[in-house]
Amino acid sequence: MKIAIVGLGYVGLPLSLQFARSGVTVLGLDVDRAKVESLNSGRSYIKHIKSEDIARAVQAGTFSASTDFKRVKKVEAVIICVPTPLNRNREPDISFIIETGKSIAPHLSKGTLVVLESTTYPGTTDGELREVLEAGSSMKAGVDFHLAFSPEREDPGNTQSKVAMIPKVIGGYTPACLERTKTVYGRAIKTLVPVSSCRAAEATKLLENIFRSVNIALVNELKLVYGAMGIDVWEVIQAAKTKPFGYMAFYPGPGLGGHCIPIDPFYLTWKAREFGQHTRFIELAGEINTAMPAHVVNRAAEALNAQKKSVNGSRVLLLGLAYKPNVDDDRESPTYELMDLFKQRGAEVAYYDPFVPVIRMTREHPHWAQTRSVKWDRKTIRRFDVVVIATNHQSVNYQELADWAVCIVDTRNQMAGLKSKPGQVWKA
């Protein structure tokens, strides 16, 4: 079997390697020439993906990368793993899906399977994508080629998360499309979870991340409420999670990050308006979560005020740029929002992240491109008026931070139990 995977990022690359390990010949397609050259040389550009794994697949001939989309004419399946961001109005942007469809459509062979993995609203696969593929190929989905949706469930940084072992939801445009999708994914994934349609599969992905968004919003709101009462929300969560039924622990933070949780809920809220439905609960959760960076900045202002300093003119260090611990993935990281807010209030802003030594060009925050992480040493840390812990990387020595920093604003409860000076640590 030979397949093509379009989009060689945090989803497409690990999926490519899993198929390659399973004896499938994989053609990785991406518009980024630098990525393609790096992969064909056996080099990884993602922290948790080892270069030796890529080199092994390239040397075995089971994986190669290219920018030539014409090569899809020689594959049996095309899996699309491209970004689906929000635009400036927080509306779905499926332009990457549409452009990919236009690129592959003229080169599809009869009987080819096309699977979309990018998170989107129900109706994208059998609607917009199908129309683009049919127009560009002069073939009919479900008749001349197969079409399906299978949501990605990649969990960067989780060493226990293995692509082959994560159950894979799949929904076909027709029963025959579903059967073909089973055959393809069955080569690499242990457990398949078939659903009745592409739309059911699309809705499944949204439910998974809306569930997380709403619950994170709940604990973020309770953090503010309990804080006003003098109650430590982290202590409350630790106690509540001892209940063996009916409770699942979620944790507050400085905002939401990653390509899924901050974005996916808005794909459903936007689509729901088409049906005259208003997702008030989901939208409220979004409002709470997007308000958290401003809360953190205000808390830092209180900490600086206690030192008889203002935010304006202060030196602020953000600890952690990645959106989650122990990865180099900075997509939609709330740290960017924190950096912007501090800068707007006149602060001198810097960041430290051992996983992100330099900020690459980002669509949302191009003004921070090429900014470099500061060094981790006493002299560097001591020159900042306040250090805000935004991401709780395990490799950071937080006791050293307590020994070196003048003032710390902790959004992740990392300083609990460590030796610190009175008034040095502020929870946010």
Domain boundaries, the chain: 2-197, 291-427
Position 57 confidence tier, pLDDT thresholds 50, 70, 90: very high
Position 260 confidence tier, pLDDT thresholds 50, 70, 90: confident
pLDDT reported for residue 180: 98
Q: Which helix (H) or strand (E) holds 5?
A: strand 2-6
Residue 193 CB neighbour total at 10 angstroms: 13
pLDDT tens digit string along 282-322?
999 999 999 999 999 999 999 999 999 999 999 999 999 99
**Which CATH code for domain 2-197?**
3.40.50.720
pLDDT tens digit string along 86-99?
988 889 999 999 99
Annotated active-site residue in 81, 177, 198, 260:
260
Query: Is residue 94 helix, strand or coil?
Result: coil
pLDDT tens digit string along 96-116?
999 999 999 999 999 999 999
3-state helix, strand, coil in the chain (%, to 5): 40, 15, 45
pLDDT tens digit string along 324-354?
999 999 989 999 999 999 999 999 999 999 9
Contact 26, 79 (CB under 8 A): no
Task: Indicate if 177 belongs to the active site.
Answer: no
pLDDT reported for residue 162: 87
- 187-201, 268-282, 357-371: least confidently modelled range: 357-371
Find the mean pLDDT for residues 234-254: 97
Kindly tell me if the per-residue pLDDT of 124 is higher than 90.
Answer: yes
- 427 - beta bridge partners? 410
**Which CATH code for domain 291-427?**
3.40.50.720
Find the mean pLDDT for residues 163-192: 97
Looking at the chain, the whole-number percentage of residues with pLDDT higher than 90 is 92
Kindly tell me if the per-residue pLDDT of 361 is higher than 80.
Answer: no
Closest to 126 in 3D by CA, of 152, 149, 105, 108: 149
pLDDT reported for residue 88: 83
Q: What is the mean pLDDT of the chain?
A: 95
2-197 and 291-427 have identical folds: yes
Query: Is residue 49 helix, strand or coil?
Result: coil
